[in-house]
Structure 1
Amino acid sequence: MRAMKDLSGLTYRQLAVRAEERGDVLPASTLAGTLSRGSLPRPEVVEAFVRACGGSPEDVDRWLGTHRDLTRGGLHATAPKDATVAGDTDASGAHKGEPPPEGRKAPGPRWSARGRLIGSISLALLVVAGGSLAVTRLDGDETAQAHVAGAASPSATSRPALSGPRPGVYRIRSAASSLCLSEREGESGGRVYQATCAKAVPVYSVEPVEGGAFRIRSLHPVFGYGCLGVTGGNPRAGAQLMDDYCGHRGSAERFQLQPAGRARYRLVPAHTGACASVPGGSPTEWTPVVQLSCRPDDPGQLFLFDSRPPPTAVPSITSN
C-alpha cells in the first residue's frame, strides 16, 4: 500500500478527498496511521484506498482477496499484477507548469495524471513488514498549546546556539510583499502560496532540531499537524513548498533559518541549500512560494516571523 501511494503521486489529503468523491470514508489521519503500522488494515480501509488510487472494481476484488489470504495466514499472497493507479487530471490540485521531479524512485512526475503499479508487489511485505515511512504522532490528550509551548527536550542543552527565531508559533511573512505563507482554500494538496496575512492558513510552529536546523510545523485547523517542506523532496529549482504530514520527505522538511538583518531570515531547505522564494518579490496574492538558488540581492527570499498565539485546538493525526 505504501508503494501504491508513492506511485500514485497523491498526498494523504488528496486520497481522502478522492475517497469522499467516490462515496468512501478514508480520513487522512486514518490512512497515515495505517501506512505507519506493521499490522493489517481493516478491509474497508483497503477497499477505499484502492478506489481512491484509481483502482477498478476488479482491482479492489483482487486486493480484498489478498487481504483475506493474509488474514488466514497466507503470507505469500501477492498484490494484483498490473494494478492500475490512475489519477484524474483535475483531482491532484497540481500547480500548472511545475517541472517534473528528477531523481525520484517512482516513475513519472509526482503530479502526473496517470501512473501504473507494475509487476507483482507483495502485500504481505508492504503491510506486515516493518515500515520505512515515519509518521509523526501525538498523544491523543496532547493539546496544541502543550505541543508548541517549547518544552525542553533531553538534548536541548547540547544543541548549538540558535540562529533563527525563538521556538514558538508564527505567521511567516514575505519581506518583499508583506503577504504571508498560506495554503489555498479549495485545494487539498497543501501547496504553499502567499496570501493576505489576515486570512492566511495555517500558522506555523518553529521548532529547533539537530544540527542547528529547524522544523516548521503547520498547525492546520482541518488537516491537523504537519510539516512545511518541498513537494515530494524535489531538488529542482522551482519546486513549490508544501505542507504535508511529517516524516516522509527527509531533509526536505528541515530548514536552516539564516539571519539577513532587521529580523529577516532566509528559509533554506536542508536537502538543497536553495532558498524559499517569492519569485521576483512579486506583490501578487497567490503567487506560489518555491525554492530557487539563493541570491543576496533578491528581496523575495527574505521572510519575517510574526508571533501568534498557539491555536486552541488542532486535530491530531491519530484521531479517526
Structure 2
Amino acid sequence: MVVSEGVNPADARTAHEYVALLRELKERSGLTYRQLEQRAAERDEVLARSTLADVLRRDALPRAEVVAALVRACGAERDVPEWLAARERLAAGEGPEAEGTDQGPQSPGRPPKPAGVGRGRTALTATVASLGTVALLAVGATVLFEQDGGKPTGGAAHGEATTNPAVAPGPAAGFSRVRPARAPGLCLTDGEVRADGGGGSKLLAVQRPCAEAVPPRVSLQRADDGLYQILFHHPVHGPGCLTVLGDGAFKGTLEPWTDCRAGGVTQWFRVERADGTDGWRLRSAQDDALCVGVRGGAGEAGAAAVVERCAERGGDDQVFLIGRE
C-alpha cells in the first residue's frame, strides 16, 4: 500500500509515466527542491536539488539511489521497495510499453528500437534486488553490444576498431582506460563536483589517480558510423553514458546518464588520432568545434572533464591515451 494515496508506482507502464508519478509524489509532499535536499542530507543521503530538477524534467528512469532518496525525503519511506521494484521492472523491459532505458549503441538521428530489441549489454549485468537496495554487478572481461537486428559489435579485439572501412579507424571498443596525455598517472572516472558559488554538487566525469579510479570501469562502444559513447559501469549505480550538460551551473561538464538515448548527440563523440601523438582527441558529435578536456591543473586529482573550444595551438591539453584494460 503506497503511503501517498493515488501515487502507485506499480501503475507505471513506461519510464515517462514513472517519472510523472515521481513528480506527483514530490508535488503532494508540498516540499521544495531545497527542502527535499535538506531532508535527504539529514539521512546522510545526497539529493542535490539541481540533479533532482534534471531527473524530474526528463523521461528517463532515474538511478535507483536517487529514487530511494527522493521517496524517503517525501515521507514515504515504507514505499521505497515498491518504487524500486517498479523501476527494475521497467528497466528490464517488462511490460508492453517499457521505454527510456539503455538500449545499446544507436547513433544520433536513428529511430528508437522497439522495446525489448537490441537492449545492449550481453553477459554484462545481473540485477540483485532487496528491500530498498538495488545493485548492478558487472561481470566478464569483454562487452558485446547489440546493433539493429541483434547483430553484435565491439570492434577489434586488439588495436584499432575497424567496424566499417568507410569511416576512420579509432580505438577498440570494450573496457578501457582513458588517461589525460598531460597526466598519464590519472584516469577518467567519476566524482562529486561542486558548482561554483555553492550551488550543489553532481556526480560527474573527473580525473583521479588510476589506482583509485575503479569503480566505475570505463568502456567505449562504437556505432557503425564511427561515433562512440563512453560508459561508466558502477556496481551500484549501473552503467551510465557520459552526457554533455548544456545549461546551468554545470554547463559543459560530463554526467553519466542511465538512459543512453535521452541525450541524443550530446552522448556521442568522434574519436580521432591527435596529430603526431599516440593519443586521441574526443570531439563532441553535437559540435565539431568542441573537444573534451580537463578543467584545472595537469595533475589535479578530482578536476572535472569538460567540453570546451578545441585548442588551435599544439600541446596535449585535450589529448587522451586510450588503451584496453
2:271 and 2:249 mapped to 1: Cα distance? 20
| 1:208, distance to aligned residue in structure 2 (A) | 1.2
Match of 2:309 in 1: 293
1:89 and 1:181 mapped to 2: Cα distance? 28
1:196 to 209, 212, 215: 209
Classify 1:193/1:94 alpha carbon distance in 2 versus 1 (closer, same or farther; 3 Å). farther
2:189 is the counterpart of 1:182: yes
Summarize deviations over 1:38-60 as a string: whole Å, max 9, x none: 7x65xxx9776645xx4343x6x
Relative to its length, the structure with more strand (as a share) is 2
| 1:264, distance to aligned residue in structure 2 (A) | 0.3
2:140 to 140, 145, 158: 145
Q: Tell me the TM-score normalized by structure 1.
A: 0.54
Classify 1:247/1:85 alpha carbon distance in 2 versus 1 (closer, same or farther; 3 Å). farther
Q: Conserved in 1, the CA contact under 8 Å of 2:176 and 2:220?
A: yes
Classify 1:89/1:142 alpha carbon distance in 2 versus 1 (closer, same or farther; 3 Å). closer
Classify 1:243/1:211 alpha carbon distance in 2 versus 1 (closer, same or farther; 3 Å). same
Q: Which amino acid aligns with 1:228?
A: L
Task: Give RMSD over aligned pairs.
Answer: 4.5
Summarize deviations over 1:69-93 as a string: whole Å, max 9, x none: xxxxxxxxxxxxxxx7624567555
Structure 1 vs Structure 2: percent identity of aligned residues? 25
Summarize deviations over 1:89-114 as a string: whole Å, max 9, x none: 6755589xxxxx9xx99xxxxxxxxx
Q: Which amino acid aligns with 1:244?
A: W
Q: Give the secondary structure class of the aligned counterpart of 1:176.
A: coil
Q: Which amino acid aligns with 2:291?
A: C
**Structure 1, gaps ≥5 residues long:** 1-22, 25-30, 60-83, 96-100, 106-129, 309-320
Q: Which amino acid aligns with 1:193?
A: V
1:175 and 1:94 mapped to 2: Cα distance? 35
Q: Conserved in 1, the CA contact under 8 Å of 2:189 and 2:218?
A: no
Q: Give the secondary structure class of the aligned counterpart of 2:170.
A: coil
2:287 to 272, 276, 300: 272
The alignment covers a number of residue pairs equal to 219
Q: Tell me the TM-score normalized by structure 2.
A: 0.53
Alignment of 1:4-15 (within 5 A): none
Q: Give the secondary structure class of the aligned counterpart of 1:192.
A: strand
2:170 and 2:121 mapped to 1: Cα distance? 28
| 1:223, distance to aligned residue in structure 2 (A) | 0.9
1:224 and 1:234 mapped to 2: Cα distance? 25
1:171 to 174, 177, 180: 177
Match of 2:222 in 1: 208
| 1:289, distance to aligned residue in structure 2 (A) | 0.8
Moved more, 140-149 or 176-185: 140-149
Moved more, 185-194 or 208-217: 185-194
Structure with more contact order per residue of length (Cα contacts < 8 Å, sep ≥ 6): 1
Q: Give the secondary structure class of the aligned counterpart of 2:204.
A: coil
Q: Conserved in 1, the CA contact under 8 Å of 2:188 and 2:208?
A: yes
2:231 is the counterpart of 1:217: yes
Q: Conserved in 1, the CA contact under 8 Å of 2:189 and 2:205?
A: yes
1:248 and 1:213 mapped to 2: Cα distance? 16
2:121 and 2:311 mapped to 1: Cα distance? 42
